[in-house]
Amino acid sequence: MITVPPVITIDGPSGSGKGTLCRAIAGSLQWHFLDSGAIYRVLALAALRRNINIVSEEMLTGVAMNLNVRFLLNEGEMQVIFEEKDVTEEIRTQSISHTASLIALFPRLRKILLHYQHIFRKQPGLIADGRDVGTVVFPDACIKIFLNASLKERVYRRMLQLKKRGCNINFKSLLADMEERDKRDYNRAIAPLLPAENAWLLDSTAMTKEQLINKVMNYIKNKLVL
């Protein structure tokens, strides 16, 4: 009898804390990890490197069909490996983020990447981070969480991340950028950013990283009976 590997999905907008949370859970459970957003970012990086027109779904599809991405967890930090090189920092720039959110609107491209994401589902289990992993990618996930935070708090968190990378970002410009990103994610025709019907809705605005991780790990342990 073949047992399907369990999946825990965590969806939510940028800056809600889902990346930090997913890495902590994957490390604690020793499960595999999927950052679905990073796959779109890597595709954006590959397209820009090859001077591909990002409004051409056909050209982007050709790149997507030959994408080679893997994730490594190293002491709680995630490394994104593309074509055997670490591109973790490179795909976190504002230009890559913007490009990724634009190409994510193409339906044929999303279908190809949907099948690609399914490859990451392996024993003993998978922690999936994204915007539609609980609704579209893994609708049969055993635990679904939708993590959110106030827009202002998410902007501050993103600014801290960028400052650590040596980037100086204006609050107002980042606020406008994230508002536009939210609008695209929540209102796109295919796989919009919405909680799954059976998802646990959690607001991280007033939580520290440790509080968030502890709260979610207790929830998971109760659900999985670990």
What would the DSSP string read from start to end of 80-145? EEETTEE-TTGGGSHHHHHHHHHHTT-HHHHHHHHHHHHTT--TT-EEEEESSIIIII-TT-SEEE
Q: Is 172 annotated as a binding residue?
A: no
Q: In what order do the strands lie in the sheet with 32-35?
A: 32-35, 126-130, 7-11, 143-148, 200-203
123-162 pLDDT tens trace: 999 999 999 999 999 999 999 999 999 999 999 998 888 8
Q: What per-residue confidence (pLDDT) applies to 226?
A: 57
Q: Is 19 annotated as a binding residue?
A: yes
Q: Which domains does the chain have, with CATH numbers?
A: 7-216 (3.40.50.300)
Q: What per-residue confidence (pLDDT) applies to 112?
A: 93
Q: Name the H helices within the chain.
A: 18-29, 36-49, 57-64, 94-103, 107-118, 151-164, 171-187, 209-224
Q: Is 111 annotated as a binding residue?
A: no
Q: Is 13 annotated as a binding residue?
A: yes
Q: What per-residue confidence (pLDDT) applies to 92?
A: 86
Q: Please tell me the pTM assigned to this model.
A: 0.90
* Rounded-to-integer distance, Cα 226 and Cα 212, Å: 19
Q: What per-residue confidence (pLDDT) applies to 2?
A: 60
Q: Is 130 annotated as a binding residue?
A: no
Q: Is 9 annotated as a binding residue?
A: no
Q: Is 17 annotated as a binding residue?
A: yes
Burial (CB count within 10 angstroms: exposed 0-12, middle 13-18, buried 19+), residue 8: buried
Among the listed residues 97, 94, 98, 36, the one whose alpha carbon sits nearest the alpha carbon of residue 67: 36
Task: Please identify every stretch of the chain with a pLDDT value under 70, giving residue numbers as ranges.
Answer: 1-2, 225-226
